[in-house]
Amino acid sequence: NLVAEIVSTSKFQKDNFHRAYAAQDFNGSLVIKPEMFVSEKERKTGENSYVYLIHPSSVLYFSGFTTGENSNRDIFKVELDENGDWGIPEKADDILNTSFDENYPVLVDNGSTLYFCSKGHNSLGGYDIFRSTLNPETNKFDQPENLGPGVNSPFDDIVFIPTKDKSYAYFASDRDNLNGSINVYKIRMSENSNS
């Protein structure tokens, strides 16, 4: 169990829950996805999506749709070119993406750890939060690990971001909520959570 204790719980509407993530606690910012990465399908549905920007970073992971009306959300990777412009997004490896939705990728630890949520893999139901570690020899992410029932539930559990010192983390969940609200939890991590 990653959770030693729940430090605080904040209730928000789903369209503005990102405000509960205290920017000073992280090495990056949770922001609305830049317009250049918003797909036509997202524009039609008016979905809000968030990305986690590391400071500074030459790579960005985000969730979006491949072409086709019936496609699921997948994780994409885009890199800055030598002119400081974002290149062409590429779909992340199949080890991360499934035939179900993947969303809210958060890259931490100087690019070596990716947290994301998925309705696939071995989800407990709805979105579950997973962690995958970059293998330095292959430069590919390892098989994602479900963060388990301390964090995940049969409901949608999303946007897991550890704090700078990794003692705490934030995540959001719509468990026990009605009327489009969502809780953002700040947790103290158990001591063996980074193993």
pLDDT by residue for the chain (195 residues), tens only, comes to 788 899 999 999 888 888 899 889 998 988 888 888 988 888 887 776 889 988 777 899 999 987 665 678 999 999 999 898 999 999 998 999 998 999 999 999 988 999 999 999 988 889 999 999 999 999 899 999 999 988 999 999 999 999 999 999 999 999 877 777 999 999 999 876 654
158: phi then psi, degrees, rounded to nearest 5: -140, 165
Cβ pair 126, 135 in contact under 8 A? no
Residue 58: per-residue pLDDT: 87
Residue 3: per-residue pLDDT: 87
Alpha helices by DSSP H, the chain: 40-45
Cis peptide before 56 (omega within 30 of 0): yes
**Burial (CB count <10 Å: 0-12, 13-18, 19+), residue 85:** exposed
Question: What is each CA distance from 129 to 34, 104, 145, 194, in whole angstroms?
Answer: 23, 9, 9, 15
Residue 54: per-residue pLDDT: 85
pTM for the whole structure: 0.92
Q: Which residues are registered as beta bridge partners of 127?
A: none
Residue 195: per-residue pLDDT: 45
113: phi then psi, degrees, rounded to nearest 5: -130, 130
Taking Cα atoms as reference points, which of 195, 169, 175 lies closest to residue 7?
169
**Burial (CB count <10 Å: 0-12, 13-18, 19+), residue 144:** buried
Name the token pair of 82.
């030598």
